[in-house]
């Protein structure tokens, strides 16, 4: 019996190791009638190019000198809305021994841009009644004129706002509301036809590949720990990233980007988002491949949709976990700021950290609302609790956008139904309510920077202070 148990354990361990070593491709060409020289049907270079565009745009958003800068704005717009040849990859680039293969966007994929793939709906959590592309272009305009991408007068960190929103509005939206949604239907990009004229992959193969590309995981993610996958984005260890052993990191198949990075960040705390999502992508791709170029049966499409549901559910959790984490960061920052302000010290250094964290919080909370799925009251509460801007030392907060395009900040109501938070204590309560809302709505597990246990005590303190002020 003892030997049997050991054998079972050994078999289970071997199976787990084999499973974990699974890679996203290469997969053979299954398209019937194809006579070219391609042997691998996997293709998501366009998505990798957009990751490089996003990363580079984020870097540019922090390059302003504090004055209107038409050249910088034009450069930023070329990375957002242009298809210009010769655009250098500003990030990720080689770092020490960590050598990156591609140095220009076109070396990954030619003629790619971000604007055309940006969520087209209105963004109610951002002032001015703007659509997704309008939000990004507005932020680009302001970033180009801000010193180092930071505007202390309103509490905006433009690199963070642009990046976190764009990750949702392009990568998340395109994957879950397009490729893993309508393109899984029988009449959309069928598996017995090429994705487009002249393609060497089927409609369903390429749709699935592009969704995987937007997630941002290395193809060999299943053989990586959360820390290893996270470290690739930080360009820490060439040997971990360089799966094919050629001495350079391929920005298509070997880099960690966007939400895969945040999945790994969460997983370092004990969750399993990165591997769950990646394995579902692999399983789905193998299912499509097993059809051997024939149209998927109803049963196959049903199973594929089940894999897609796993991906979408866990991807949403990744973004919600990040939102939760930064709500906790903002909560802690406010506590530190209160101590400094009460002591009549200089809050500028701590304020910079607070604004950065708020930009991440706000960007992720907006991204969460770009899936095409109506979050209903959850979205309303998130937008109201977080507001249009962080509360500043003088009690002001962004309330809207003027007709001339200037951002308005003040103590007045933001909009119909919106509450103003007039002190750090009240805004701290709001951050804890954000955490409680997210944890319940999305059944979060990692819950980094969880401060919800302090809610009751903080509410009591805030109420006591209000009572004293009214005496």
Q: Which domain holds residue 25?
A: 2-308
Per-residue confidence in pLDDT tens, the chain, 471 aa? 333 333 333 333 333 443 445 999 999 999 999 999 999 999 999 999 999 999 999 999 999 999 999 999 999 999 999 999 999 999 999 999 999 999 999 999 999 999 999 999 999 999 999 999 999 999 999 999 999 999 999 999 999 999 999 999 999 999 999 999 999 999 999 999 999 999 999 999 999 999 999 999 999 999 999 999 999 999 999 999 999 999 999 999 999 999 999 999 999 999 999 999 999 999 999 999 999 999 999 999 999 999 999 999 999 999 999 999 999 999 999 999 999 999 999 999 999 999 999 999 999 999 999 999 999 999 999 999 999 999 999 889 999 999 999 999 987 443 344 444 558 889 999 999 999 999 999 999 999 999 999 877 777 776 665 545 445
- Residue 456 is given by DSSP the state H
- Entry pTM: 0.92
CA 33 to chain centre: 39
Give Cα 228 to chain centroid, integer Å. 19
CB atoms within 10 A of CB 36: 9
Q: Do residue 320 and residue 270 come from a single domain? A: no
Residues 267 and 330 in one domain: no
The domain total for the chain is 2
Q: Are residues 316 and 299 in the same domain?
A: no
**How would you class 352 by CB atoms within 10 Å of its CB: exposed for 0-12, middle for 13-18, buried for 19 or more?**
middle
Q: Which of 99, 94, 113 is nearest to 49 (CA)?
A: 113
Q: What is the DSSP string of 85-112?
A: TT-B--SS--BTTB-BS--BGGGT-TT-
Q: Do residues 288 and 177 both lie within one domain?
A: yes
Cβ neighbours of 83 (radius 10 Å): 13
Other beta carbons within 10 angstroms of residue 14's beta carbon come to 10
- Ramachandran quadrant class, 128 (left: phi over 0; alpha: psi -120 to 50; beta: rest): left
Same domain, 44 and 160: yes
**Separation of CA 204 from chain center:** 24
Same domain, 319 and 295: no
Same structural domain, 140 and 204: yes
The residue among 264, 280, 308 that closes a domain is: 308
Q: Single out the residue in 308, 341, 375 at which a domain terminates.
A: 308
For residue 98, report the phi and psi dihedrals to the nearest 5 degrees: -85, 95
Question: Sign of dihedral through CA atoms 260, 266, 270, 273?
Answer: negative
Check whether residue 224 and residue 140 sit in a common domain: yes
Whether 280 and 378 share a structural domain: no
In the numeric block, which tokens belong to residue 211? Answer: 């969704």
Q: Residue with structure tokens 């070593």? A: 21
Say if CB 133 and CB 332 are below 8 A apart. no
**R_g of the chain, CA atoms, integer Å:** 24
Same domain assignment for residues 341 and 297? no
**352 and 427 belong to one structural domain:** yes
- On whether both 283 and 319 belong to a single domain, the answer is no
- Distance from the first to the final alpha carbon of the chain: 76
The answer to whether the peptide bond before residue 26 is cis (omega within 30 degrees of 0) is yes
Instruction: Among 262, 290, 308, identify where a domain stops.
Output: 308
């Amino acid at each position: 019996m003892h030997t049997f148990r050991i054998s079972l354990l050994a078999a289970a361990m071997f199976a787990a190791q084999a499973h974990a070593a699974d890679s996203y491709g290469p997969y053979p060409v299954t398209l019937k009638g194809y006579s070219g020289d391609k042997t691998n049907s996997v293709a998501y270079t366009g998505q990798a190019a957009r990751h490089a565009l996003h990363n580079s745009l984020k870097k540019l958003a922090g390059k302003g000198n504090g004055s209107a800068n038409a050249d910088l704005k034009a450069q930023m717009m070329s990375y957002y809305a242009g298809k210009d040849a010769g655009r250098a990859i500003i990030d990720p680039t080689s770092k020490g021994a960590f050598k990156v293969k591609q140095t220009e966007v076109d070396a990954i994929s030619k003629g790619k841009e971000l604007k055309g793939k940006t969520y087209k709906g209105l963004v109610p959590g951002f002032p001015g009644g703007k659509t997704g592309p309008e939000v990004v272009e507005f932020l680009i305009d302001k970033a180009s004129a801000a010193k180092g991408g930071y505007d202390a007068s309103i509490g905006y960190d433009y690199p963070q706002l642009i990046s976190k929103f764009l990750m949702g509005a392009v990568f998340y939206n395109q994957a879950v509301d397009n490729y893993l949604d309508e393109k899984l239907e029988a009449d959309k990009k069928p598996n017995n036809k090429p994705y487009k004229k002249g393609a060497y992959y089927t409609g369903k193969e390429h749709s699935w590949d592009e969704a995987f590309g937007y997630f941002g995981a290395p193809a060999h993610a299943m053989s990586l720990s959360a820390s290893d996958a996270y470290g690739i984005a930080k360009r820490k260890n060439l040997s971990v990233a360089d799966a094919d052993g050629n001495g350079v990191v391929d920005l298509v198949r070997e880099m960690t980007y966007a939400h895969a990075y945040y999945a790994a960040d969460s997983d370092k705390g004990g969750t399993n988002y990165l591997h769950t999502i990646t394995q579902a992508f692999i399983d789905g791709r193998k299912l499509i491949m097993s059809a051997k170029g024939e149209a998927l049966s109803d049963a196959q499409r049903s199973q594929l949709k089940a894999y897609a549901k796993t991906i979408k559910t866990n991807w949403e959790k990744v973004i919600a976990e990040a939102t939760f984490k930064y709500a906790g960061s903002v909560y802690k920052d406010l506590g530190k700021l209160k101590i400094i302000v009460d002591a009549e010290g200089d809050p500028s250094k701590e304020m910079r950290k607070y604004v950065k964290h708020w930009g991440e919080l706000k960007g992720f909370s907006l991204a969460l609302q770009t899936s095409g799925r109506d979050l209903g009251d959850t979205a309303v509460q998130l937008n109201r609790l977080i507001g249009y801007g962080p509360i500043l030392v003088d009690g002001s907060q962004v309330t809207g956008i003027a007709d001339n395009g200037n951002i308005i900040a003040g103590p007045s109501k933001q909009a119909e139904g919106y509450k103003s938070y007039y002190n750090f204590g009240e805004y701290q309560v709001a951050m804890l309510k954000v955490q409680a809302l997210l944890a319940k709505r999305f059944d979060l597990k990692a819950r980094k920077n969880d401060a919800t246990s302090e809610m009751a005590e903080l509410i009591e303190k805030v109420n006591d202070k209000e009572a004293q002020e009214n005496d």
